[in-house]
Amino acid sequence: MQEATSQSSLIPLASRSVPHSFLGSYPPLTMLSVAFVSLVAASLASARTFTVTNSCSYTVWPALFTDLNVGSALPDQPTGWEAAPGSTVSFNVPDNWTAGRIWGRTECDFSTVNSSTSCVTGGCNGGLLCDPHSGTGVPPATVAEFTLSGGGTTDNYDVSLVDGFNVPVSVTNNVGCGVPSCPVDLNPNCPSPLQHDDPSGKVAGCLSACAANLDGTPTNSANCCSGSFDVPATCPSSGVTDYSYFKSNCPNSYAYAYDESSGTALWYCDSSLGADYAITFCPSS
């Protein structure tokens, strides 16, 4: 990847002391039911709450993706939905959600086409519901990224501009951990070579130098940190075209592949706090 509520005070059913005579007076089905309820209770206790709010003046179609090559824990939310201005959706996310991505899509029309081309920015394979295996999203898109560490040490999270920018985004939490964000609209002043226009000619997104393929060699590119530039030592931020445009406007974002050295790209939160996270499109600056 490119950073609470306390655990429930209820004692799981499986750990309670139950008289043998009580258990013996019920048929096996009831015993199985008790075990099932125990599993559900344990699952709920370890889940986090994620809240996605659209504070933009326009409709956004949030998308959600989990890299199944890295982790199999999935949120209990569809992989895409329509969010009208002012709308909020909350859902449970497993405590060990790994390589998760949430982003907004703009200017979408799923009435005739259900593919990555259904949206002007951020579209994904699958259309409204992003394909669980290949629906990572098409640049430009501002992406909130998460790897939670249930039972580990830290949650890692960020707001990534590696795929470019389309919608202002912030990630807040309820335990006082850091707040990655890109609250500024980067579209109006986007450098001309990076502009991504909608059919009317309006700038709808701002591609990263890598996504725009400015040097024409994506497999050996200083903008993409690929090929001979694939380690931090050979891919400093100074070699990435227009890095300063993204980072100066959104200093708490992840602005290129090796932006960790900035100290304000990747954010951490003690996983024992069990933080709940809120993703807001068009947050107040």
Task: Let me know if residue 3 belongs to a domain.
Answer: no
pLDDT at position 125: 94
Give the list of residues 6+ apart from residue 63 with CB closer than 8 angstroms, or none. Answer: 79, 80, 101, 102, 103, 104, 105, 122, 124, 130, 135, 137
pLDDT at position 49: 98
CA torsion 138-140-142-148 (nearest 10°) is 30
Total domains, the chain? 2
Task: Let me know if residue 218 belongs to a domain.
Answer: yes
**Domain co-membership, 150 together with 246:** yes
Residue 15: pLDDT over 50: no
CA torsion 275-7-91-72 (nearest 10°) is 90
Question: pLDDT tens digit string along 117-157?
Answer: 899 999 999 999 999 999 999 999 999 999 999 777 999 99
pLDDT at position 241: 98
**Domain co-membership, 33 together with 143:** no
Cα distance between residue 49 and residue 71, in whole Å: 19
pLDDT at position 152: 79
**Domain co-membership, 35 together with 61:** no
**Domain co-membership, 169 together with 236:** yes
Cα distance between residue 194 and residue 165, in whole Å: 10
pLDDT at position 98: 96
**Domain co-membership, 59 together with 35:** no
Task: Let me know if residue 87 belongs to a domain.
Answer: yes
Per-residue pLDDT band at 113 (split at 50, 70, 90): confident
Question: pLDDT tens digit string along 27-58?
Answer: 444 444 444 334 443 444 479 999 999 999 99
Question: pLDDT tens digit string along 80-92?
Answer: 999 999 999 999 9
Task: Let me know if residue 8 belongs to a domain.
Answer: no
Question: pLDDT tens digit string along 207-263?
Answer: 999 999 999 999 999 999 999 999 999 999 999 999 999 999 999 999 999 999 999
* DSSP strands (E only) in 74-161: 88-93, 100-108, 119-121, 143-147, 154-160
Domain holding 118, by residue range, is 48-281
Whether residue 251 has a cis bond before it, omega within 30° of 0:
no
Task: Let me know if residue 5 belongs to a domain.
Answer: no
pTM exceeds 0.85, yes or no: no
Task: Let me know if residue 73 belongs to a domain.
Answer: yes
**Domain co-membership, 28 together with 79:** no
**Domain co-membership, 24 together with 148:** no
**Domain co-membership, 114 together with 169:** yes
**Domain co-membership, 25 together with 142:** no
**Domain co-membership, 192 together with 88:** yes
Task: Let me know if residue 70 belongs to a domain.
Answer: yes
**Domain co-membership, 21 together with 135:** no
pLDDT at position 11: 29
CATH number at residue 251: 2.60.110.10
Residue 5: pLDDT over 50: no
**Domain co-membership, 36 together with 54:** no
pLDDT at position 115: 83
Rg (Cα) of the chain, in Å, rounded?
Answer: 21
Task: Let me know if residue 7 belongs to a domain.
Answer: no
